[in-house]
Amino acid sequence: MKTAIVISGALLLAALPAVAAAPQPTKPISASFYSGTWYEVARTPNGNQKDCHAPTSQFSSAKGGKYLMTQTCRRGSPAGPTKVWKAEGQIVPGSGNAKFKARFFGLVNQEYWILDTAGDGSWGIMATPGGNYVWLMSRKAVMTPAAKAAAIGRIKALGYNTAKLEQPKQPPA
């Protein structure tokens, strides 16, 4: 009986999808990535961003080579009430600016990797190291259809299931 339970448990675990780690960043990222406003164009669904519309991340410099990050969501619609999260961030040394750590509420640490950017810096693909979450960020609230398709194609090429991506609405430019 115990053997049957162990085998059944092993088969159940084997049937669960494995979470692959995010691919390592392959190119250095310009320090300018960590300044100004980024608009979220697509993301893997996650509990913190449920009912999150018109999401943005605002980066600004802080003391000691750190930066401040303010993330804003609007609830219900792109014009709805705002919810704001603030974090302090720092580039991971030796990563070519492609990895950073953010501390939310002074307690919660999260590392993010910049997996790719457009040649002109107009969009970036950001992910968590475990491969569970990915975001497409843009310098403009609305990307052109061609640029958006190319960036989402790149996310797919990095191994993410793009059919699961949410595409939150941004206010028109």
Q: Span 55-79, mean pLDDT?
A: 92
R_g of the chain computed on alpha carbons: 18
The domain tally of the chain equals 1
Asked, for residue 97, whether it belongs to a domain, the answer is yes
Nearest to 100 by CA among 133, 72, 69: 69
Q: What is the pLDDT of residues 131-165, one digit of tens each?
A: 999 999 999 999 999 999 999 999 999 999 999 99
Q: What is the pLDDT of residues 86-107, one digit of tens each?
A: 999 999 999 999 999 999 988 8
Domain extent for 93:
28-164
Task: Give the CATH number, domain containing residue 132.
Answer: 2.40.128.20
Residue pointed to by tokens 């085998």? 7
Q: Partners of 68 in the beta sheet? A: 60, 88
Q: Can you give the pTM of this predicted structure?
A: 0.85
Asked, for residue 23, whether it belongs to a domain, the answer is no
